[in-house]
Amino acid sequence: MAIDESTQYITLPTNFCKITATTDKLIHKVFPNIAQNYKSHQWLSECAILAAKNNNVNAINFSIKNEIPGEVTTYKSIDTVMNHDDVNYPTEFLNSIDLSVIPPHVLTLKIGVSIILLRNINPPCLCNGTRLSVKKMMNNIIEAAVLKGKFKGENVLLPRIPMIPTDIPFEFKRLQFPVRLAFAIAINKVQGQSLQVCGLNLDKQLNFNKQL
């Protein structure tokens, strides 16, 4: 791996990776025959696509989720402003806030999809960054199986919890399941993960000193 000191660009060796022409081809290289293979937790735990931009992560997860058979279950969050002395933000605006550290307002899942936990719920089993596979979905509980680590294969229950992001200029609370889809993961969330097959979505110029 060589770094051009004048541009800080990195040149990858030709035998280091395989370059795909499109995101769709990248998805099918990392997750071949996803409609069948997703049933294997071992296979699912060893594959992921990393991306630096949240919109790329979301688009890839949406595309892969659509290839998995089964009905979609949709969960909508309840968003409220913490300090009512602040500006009276419309509910629609709060619903539109999409940060990688909290789940989306509209969370759409299927049985068998890969998800990542966004909060510590019950350490050391359920920690921020734990990857799981959805087994059953109810109104206020999601049953899932842990994909990696010491508690691999253990069935767990995930409740809706209140989450308050700290990187916005006002305080608001989102009541939602603390998970996101995890076929694709933001690069800053992959610390500590171990993968056998890893895809990188680098379709835009990035400054990794700022991203990581």
Average pLDDT over residues 177-202: 88
Helix axes 23-30, 54-67, angle to 10 degrees: 60
- Residue 212: inside a domain, yes or no? no
Residue 194 lies in a domain: yes
Q: Is there a domain that residue 65 lies in?
A: yes
- Decide if 63 is inside a domain: yes
Residue 92 within any structural domain of the chain: yes
CA-based angle 144:35:182, to the nearest 5?
A: 45
Identify the CA nearest to 104 among candidates 188, 190, 185, 179: 179
Report d(CA 212, CA 205) in Å as an integer: 14
Domain extent at residue 135: 2-207
User: Does 88 reside within a domain?
Assistant: yes
Q: Is 164 among the domain residues?
A: yes
pLDDT, one tens digit per residue, over 39-61 is: 999 999 999 999 988 899 999 99
Number of domains in the chain: 1
DSSP states of 29-69: HHSTTHHHHTT-HHHHHTEEEEESSHHHHHHHHHHHHHHS-
pTM for this structure? 0.87
Secondary structure (3-state) at 101: coil
For 117-173, the pLDDT digits (tens) are: 999 999 999 999 999 999 999 999 999 999 999 999 999 999 999 999 988 888 899
